Amino acid sequence: MSEIIRAPKGLAGVITDDTTISKVMPSTNSLTYSGYAVQDLAEHTSFEEVAYLMVNGELPNAEQLDEFNAKEKQYRSIHEDVKKAIRLFPKEAHPMDFLRTGVSFLGMLDDRVWDNSSETNMDKYIRLLAKIPTIAAYSYRHSIGEDFIDPVASLSFSENFFNMCFGQVPAEAVVKAFDVSLILYAEHSFNASTFTTRVITSTTSDMYSAICGGIGALKGPLHGGANEMVMHMMKEIDDPSKAKEWMLDALANKKKVMGFGHRVYRSGDSRVPTMHKYAQKMAEYTGETKWMDMYEALKNTMLEEKGIYPNLDFPAGPAYYMMGFPIDFFTPIFVMARITGWCAHIMEQTANNRIIRPLSAYTGVAQREVRPLEQR
Ligand code: COA
């Protein structure tokens, strides 16, 4: 080690490694996955195509997509023992804890858990991609005391998730809005949960352990948990005509308002215009304009007062609510999408690894002698 560098708190503004997976460009409020603009992917591809792109660096051709989809569909069901475990979960526990425990169980059932070769990791990735929605949907059914609905191979990734949760596939507009949200949530460079997965991977631990860590990091309201907090906030305000006053009061009391601000984007989140468009479509579809009216009032007041822009969680929260999902399942949906980015980063870290091990500056008491118990 040559020089010791003091990094800013929260590693703000620090580049810790190279990546080819995605590029966040705050100066132009843009985001690309392997060079493709995220809003183009959202409009012109399916989530399955993006899931392929994330770990292969190229969009699939028809044959490659068929092969990828066939594997994903084949892996959707989960082991009987995981089903039994879900039935034992406390119904009132948070669904992110269901998911973290479910993924941990999948790891214990995989006899290749220690095999971090790229071939095996690619297979583990498709398994996780396929099984996480099943764990999330079964957990939802368990939490409301209903029987599980098994995955259906003839349905797309998003259609199958709706079917496993609600026993039916909604209108195309709803499925498309959901698919778009997954594409937008798929990847975002070295955010807190992705960095967590890379730290765990850097110790040469296994993919399941890294994903459990990622789920733990994403759960926090300063990160993925914000989409749930946005909807709790909107429900608390309840009336769009009260939104401005609510925001002024929150700012006067120096509250952090969920769904606003971003470590990297300072003048707008690249993903918000697309998600806003699809949240608006959900309002048109449901005929319920209340949440998007409130969205406008909160956004405008925040911009006027503080110049702080909404992040992706702000339109995603009401969009998921209008699709019929319970609020505490919003962050598990985020996991269903971000598993793609996490696994791509896990494989990238594995391919060119050095253990991530920073230093700390000690600010505790000076070195001292241990006195025997009777003298203390
Ligand atoms: N509500 C109110 N004020 C906010 C704010 C918010 N959501 N986000 C940032 N600010 C203010 C801070 O209070 C700070 O003001 P100050 O300089 O007067 O102290 C300034 O903007 C800079 O914010 P800071 O907390 O230093 O930014 P950060 O990069 O450390 O944190 C977030 C980024 C995302 C964690 C932060 O904006 C936040 O907590 N947002 C709400 C949670 C959220 O939506 N998370 C999802 C992220 S995608």
255-288 pLDDT per residue, tens: 999 999 999 998 899 999 999 999 999 999 999 9
pLDDT at 1: 58
Given pLDDT bands bounded at 50, 70 and 90, which one contains residue 374? very high
Between CA 337 and CA 32 the distance in angstroms is 16
209 and 337 both lie in a single domain: yes
Report CA Rg, the chain: 22
Do the Cβ atoms of 29 and 267 come closer than 8 Å?
yes
Q: Whose CA is nearest to atom 10 of ligand 1?
A: 261
**DSSP characters for 62-92?**
HHHHHHHHHHHHHT-S--HHHHHHHHHS-TT
Backbone angles phi, psi at 32, to 5 degrees: -125, 145
256 Cα nearest atom in ligand 1: 1
- Is 359 part of any domain? no
Burial class (CB in 10 A: 0-12, 13-18, 19+), 249: exposed
Count of structural domains, the chain: 2
Between CA 152 and CA 138 the distance in angstroms is 14
Instruction: Kindly give the distance from the C-alpha atom of residue 211 to the centroid of ligand 1, in angstroms, as a whole number.
Output: 26
Burial class (CB in 10 A: 0-12, 13-18, 19+), 35: exposed
pTM beyond 0.85: the answer is yes
47 and 97 both lie in a single domain: yes
260 Cα nearest atom in ligand 1: 7
* The token pair that represents 212 in the structure block: 């459990």
Between CA 209 and CA 212 the distance in angstroms is 5
Instruction: Kindly give the distance from the C-alpha atom of residue 167 to the centroid of ligand 1, in angstroms, as a whole number.
Output: 39
User: Which of 193, 218, 260, 314 for a ligand 1 pocket mutation test, highest count of atoms within 8 Å of Cβ?
Assistant: 260
Between CA 203 and CA 189 the distance in angstroms is 20
- Is 157 part of any domain? yes
- Is 17 part of any domain? no
The 10 Å Cβ neighbour count of residue 248 is 14
Query: Terminal CA-to-CA distance of the chain, rounded, Å?
Result: 40
250 Cα nearest atom in ligand 1: 2
What domain range includes position 314? 226-323
Given pLDDT bands bounded at 50, 70 and 90, which one contains residue 23? very high
311 and 340 both lie in a single domain: no
- Is 8 part of any domain? no
Instruction: Kindly give the distance from the C-alpha atom of residue 78 to the centroid of ligand 1, in angstroms, as a whole number.
Output: 39
pLDDT at 349: 98
- Is 230 part of any domain? yes
pLDDT at 29: 84
Q: Which of 157, 154, 111 is nearest to 134 (CA)?
A: 157
179 CB near ligand 1 (under 6 Å): no
Do the Cβ atoms of 7 and 14 come closer than 8 Å?
yes
- In CATH, what number is assigned to the domain containing residue 135? 1.10.580.10
Task: Indicate if the pLDDT at residue 289 is higher than 90.
Answer: yes
Positions marked catalytic: 223, 262, 313
CA 364 to chain centre: 36
Q: Whose CA is nearest to atom 16 of ligand 1?
A: 254
Backbone angles phi, psi at 263, to 5 degrees: -65, -40
Residues 6+ positions from 52 with CB-CB distance below 8 Å: 59, 60, 64, 65, 68
Between CA 52 and CA 375 the distance in angstroms is 65
User: Which of 308, 309, 314, 330 for a ligand 1 pocket mutation test, highest count of atoms within 8 Å of Cβ?
Assistant: 308
